[in-house]
C-alpha cells in the first residue's frame, strides 16, 4: 500500500500520483474533501492520470464531505466508485450509498438473500433509504444557493479571525495573491480550520461550549482519534500549533449573527486563555 503526501493546502499532487502508480496497482482511493481542513482534491485529474496509466485500475473517492457541498459528477470525472453518507445531507444516520460505474462487476462480501441486486444481502432499512432520497431531493433542489450561503459564512468567519490574536486559518491558499473570496471558493464551503497560538484546543473548545458555541478539535470519525492530527502534521502546521487547532463547520442554516457571536466569543476568550498556557 502506498500513501501519498499533500502540500500545505492539503492537496495531493497529480505528479506524485503518476510516479506512485505501478504495474501491479489495482485500486486508487482519494478523499474528495478533507473533513478537517476542507481541502478539495483534483479528483477528475487524478482519475484521468489513473486510467491513463492503466485503464482497469479502479478509482474510488470518499465523497462523504463532498457530496452536495461541491459539484461532483462521477461519470464526467472518471470515478468508478464513490461512497456517500446520508447524515451529511440531513438524512438519517446510518444511511448512505455507493455509486458504482455502469458495467463494473463487483463480488459481494455478504451473501444470502440477494438484496441490493445481489451486491449486499441483508434486510434493507427502508425508512432510512426513503429519508436519504428525500434529503437528496431537497438539497439538490436548491444546491447552488445553499453552497453560496455557506461560502459567504466561511468568508465571514475567516475575515473575523483577523481580529483574534494569534489566529491562523489553515489551508486557504494564503500564500497566493488572490482575493479571499476566490481563495475560499477553491475549498469546501462548510469547513474552516483555525489554529490559536498559545491556547490548547480542548481548553478553548470547552470554553466556547459554555457560551453556546460548539466546535471540534479534529475529526469526529472516531471517538479515539489521536490528540495530534495527522492531517495538520501533513500540511506542515507548526508543531506548537498542532494541539491548538479547532475545526468549525456549518450549514446553510448558520446565520450571520451566529458567525458574529462565535467570533466575539473567540476575541474574548483567546487573549484570556493564552495567559494560562502550559510552559
Point out the residues that are catalytic: 221
- Grid cell 474574548 in the structure block, residue: 268
The SS3 of residue 233 is helix
Cell numbers found for residue 79: 470515478
**CA neighbours closer than 13 Å in the CB half-sphere of residue 275:** 4
Dist. CA 1–CA 226, nearest whole Å = 22
DSSP state of 106: -
* Strands, sheet with 58-62, edge to edge from the N-terminal-most edge strand: 27-31, 58-62, 81-85, 96-100
DSSP state of 13: P
Dist. CA 39–CA 234, nearest whole Å = 12
Amino acid at each position: 500500500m502506498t500513501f501519498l503526501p499533500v502540500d500545505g493546502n492539503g492537496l495531493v499532487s497529480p505528479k506524485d500520483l503518476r510516479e506512485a502508480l505501478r504495474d501491479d496497482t489495482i485500486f486508487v482511493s482519494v478523499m474528495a474533501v478533507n473533513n478537517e481542513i476542507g481541502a478539495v482534491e483534483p479528483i477528475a485529474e487524478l482519475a484521468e492520470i489513473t486510467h491513463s496509466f492503466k485503464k482497469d485500475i479502479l478509482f474510488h473517492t470518499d465523497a462523504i464531505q463532498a457530496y452536495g457541498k461541491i459539484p461532483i459528477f462521477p461519470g464526467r470525472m472518471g470515478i468508478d466508485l464513490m461512497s456517500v453518507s446520508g447524515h451529511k445531507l440531513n438524512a438519517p444516520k446510518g444511511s448512505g450509498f455507493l455509486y458504482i460505474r455502469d458495467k463494473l462487476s463487483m463480488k459481494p462480501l455478504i451473501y444470502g438473500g440477494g438484496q441490493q441486486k445481489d451486491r449486499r444481502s441483508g434486510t434493507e432499512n427502508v425508512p432510512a433509504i426513503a429519508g436519504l432520497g428525500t434529503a437528496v431531493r431537497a438539497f439538490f433542489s436548491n444546491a447552488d444557493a445553499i453552497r453560496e450561503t455557506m461560502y459567504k459564512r466561511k468568508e465571514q468567519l475567516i475575515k473575523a479571525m483577523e481580529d483574534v490574536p494569534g489566529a491562523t486559518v489553515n489551508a486557504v491558499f494564503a500564500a497566493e495573491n488572490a482575493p479571499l473570496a476566490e481563495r475560499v471558493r477553491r475549498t469546501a464551503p462548510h469547513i474552516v480550520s483555525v489554529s490559536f497560538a498559545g491556547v490548547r484546543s480542548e481548553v478553548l473548545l470547552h470554553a466556547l461550549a459554555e457560551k453556546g458555541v460548539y466546535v471540534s478539535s479534529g475529526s469526529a470519525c472516531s471517538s479515539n482519534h489521536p490528540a495530534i492530527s495527522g492531517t495538520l502534521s501533513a500540511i506542515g502546521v507548526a508543531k506548537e500549533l498542532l494541539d491548538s487547532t479547532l475545526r468549525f463547520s456549518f450549514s446553510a442554516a448558520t446565520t450571520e449573527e451566529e458567525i458574529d457571536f462565535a467570533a466575539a466569543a473567540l476575541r474574548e476568550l483567546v487573549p484570556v486563555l493564552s495567559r494560562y498556557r502550559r510552559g
